[in-house]
Amino acid sequence: MTSTERPLLNRRLAEFGTTIFAEMSALAVATGAINLGQGFPDTDGPEEIREAAVRALRAGHGNQYPPGPGIPRLRTAIAEHQLRRYGLSFDPDTEVLVTAGATEAIAAALLALVEPGDEVVALEPYYDSYAASIALAGGRRVPVTLRPHDGAFRLDLDELRAAVTDRTRLLLLNTPHNPTGTVLTRAELTAIAELAVERDLLVVTDEVYEHLVFDDAEHLPLAAFPGMRERTVTIGSAGKTFSFTGWKVGWVTAAPALVDAVRAVKQFLTYVSSGPFQYAVAEALALPDSYFEEFRRSMLARRDILAEGLTAAGFEVFRPAGTYFVTTDIRPLGEKDGFAFCRALPERAGVVAIPNAVFYDDRQAGAPFVRFAFCKREEVLREAAGRLRRM
Ligand code: PMP
Ligand code: GLN
């Protein structure tokens, strides 16, 4: 085979195609539909933080390569945030790494910690970059499926235990969980921690929605559970918490040896990124508790508007305990194929959503589920709900 006949994209990534977020956002632009697909807010975060970025840029802070691990001020702010919120203490110099969003943190962690052939156990449905990053690392993905039960998607701990083999290298967790909105409970996290210790597993935990938990749900960082501090890579992101998804400032907190390993990969992916924005995010992390509480409350109000609108439109709604996504079941509408439904929805109703099937190995298991994002202005959510009801 000549080099032009051979497929250009390497075999590891061939199955992935274009991410659903790009496809659906392009569809929203092309049709003028309301985009409740890709999870980005339609209003920017706090004005004072925007101004902090402008000030940094004008002052020449971060316009040249920032330090590889991230600017000291931001690493300190990340450590202080983990201490203030969770009582977890990290050394800003050895236990914190700034990344190009959570996406790079996920990729770098998996490329660093997984050898070809290692098994990675991940909750399914999974955020789409997990599967691609595991594949790039040459790992084998072993999904453990969250299943609907009493109005929420729940983890079966026996299934999780059964998924772990002698080849399992790490658990890849996500809580609050995209796309289902599930927040793992203290009992579940305790069991996961016990399993990780017993089987000597590393854990990568994606906690980018840590500030978006509702009702009586509580975000508990896995790193705080017994035996986990030394084996857990925790991932956070400014994109979600401060509504600046385009800035791409994320971070890793972990024990020094884990941070070293992740940094060894990260230095060859981007080396560094987001110079001036790092200064602004350092200020954002130091905002008073009232900012985080108001942000949470405003998303809670939007969740209720969208959840009620979708219920009125005939969807079965899984009211999320966290994140800014709501997963629905379309079968009560007489539909069963989320892909076909989402591709037709902009024409039918002027709304864009995401078919959860893309987050499943077993596409059939995810077929009837469709995700809507509620990080949009209330009037936009009401308009979208009205369109869906009239559909
Ligand atoms: N993890 C999850 C669960 C997400 O939903 C997203 C999307 N924001 C990311 C990671 C990526 O975050 P970032 O934009 O910071 O790369
Ligand atoms: N995390 C966002 C979501 O789930 C999308 C981010 C992206 O487009 N990569 O909608």
pLDDT of residue 102: 98
- Return the structure tokens found at 267: 């230095």
pLDDT of residue 17: 83
Ligand 1 binding pocket mutation candidate from 19, 127, 375 (most atoms within 8 A of CB): 127
2 Cα: distance to centroid of ligand 2 (angstroms): 37
Nearest C-alpha neighbor of 233 from the set 206, 266, 271: 206
Q: Which of 1-15, 140-154, 353-367 has the lowest mean pLDDT?
A: 1-15
Could you give the dihedral angle defined by the CA atoms of residues 315, 321, 326 and 332, in that order, rounded to the nearest 10 degrees?
-20
21 Cα: distance to centroid of ligand 2 (angstroms): 6
What is the pLDDT confidence band of residue 110, given thresholds at 50, 70 and 90? very high
Partners of 202 in the β-ladder: 170
6 Cα: distance to centroid of ligand 2 (angstroms): 31
Alpha-carbon distance values, 10 to 7, 13, 132, 138, 343 (Å): 7, 6, 12, 12, 28
Indicate if ligand 2 lies below 6 Å from the C-beta of 38. Answer: yes
Residue 224 identity (one-letter amino acid): A
Ligand 1 binding pocket mutation candidate from 97, 103, 249 (most atoms within 8 A of CB): 103
pLDDT of residue 10: 93
Nearest C-alpha neighbor of 183 from the set 153, 160, 159: 153
pLDDT of residue 73: 98
29 Cα: distance to centroid of ligand 1 (angstroms): 22
In the predicted structure, residue 162 carries a pLDDT above the cut 80: yes
pLDDT per residue as tens digits for the range 124-158: 999 999 999 999 999 999 999 999 999 999 999 99
pLDDT per residue as tens digits for the range 55-64: 999 999 999 9
Is there a cis peptide before residue 179, judged by omega within 30 degrees of 0? Answer: yes
pLDDT of residue 311: 98
Nearest C-alpha neighbor of 204 from the set 120, 95, 141, 264: 120
Average pLDDT on 89-102 reads: 98
Report which of residues 184 and 17 the model is more confident about.
184
- Which residues 6+ apart lie within 8 Å of 350 measured at CB? 31, 32, 33, 34, 387
Indicate if ligand 2 lies below 6 Å from the C-beta of 39. Answer: yes
pLDDT of residue 4: 74
Partners of 325 in the β-ladder: 373
Residue 219 identity (one-letter amino acid): H
59 Cα: distance to centroid of ligand 2 (angstroms): 32
Indicate if ligand 2 lies below 6 Å from the C-beta of 86. Answer: no
How many whole angstroms separate alpha carbon 48 and alpha carbon 332? 45
pLDDT per residue as tens digits for the range 272-315: 999 999 999 999 999 999 999 999 999 999 999 999 999 999 99
Ligand 2 binding pocket mutation candidate from 23, 40, 237 (most atoms within 8 A of CB): 40
Which helix (H) or strand (E) element contains residue 114? none
Average pLDDT on 245-259 reads: 98
178 Cα: distance to centroid of ligand 2 (angstroms): 9
The 3-state DSSP class for residue 171 equals: strand
Ligand 1: which residue has its CA nearest to atom 7? 39
In the predicted structure, residue 1 carries a pLDDT above the cut 70: no
Q: Which of 6-20, 250-264, 302-316, 342-356 has the lowest mean pLDDT?
A: 6-20
How many whole angstroms separate alpha carbon 110 and alpha carbon 134? 6
Average pLDDT on 229-258 reads: 98
195 Cα: distance to centroid of ligand 1 (angstroms): 26
Flag whether the pTM goes above 0.85. yes
Q: What is the mean pLDDT of the chain?
A: 97
Ligand 2: which residue has its CA nearest to atom 9? 21
User: Which ligand is in closest contact with the Cα of 182?
Assistant: 1
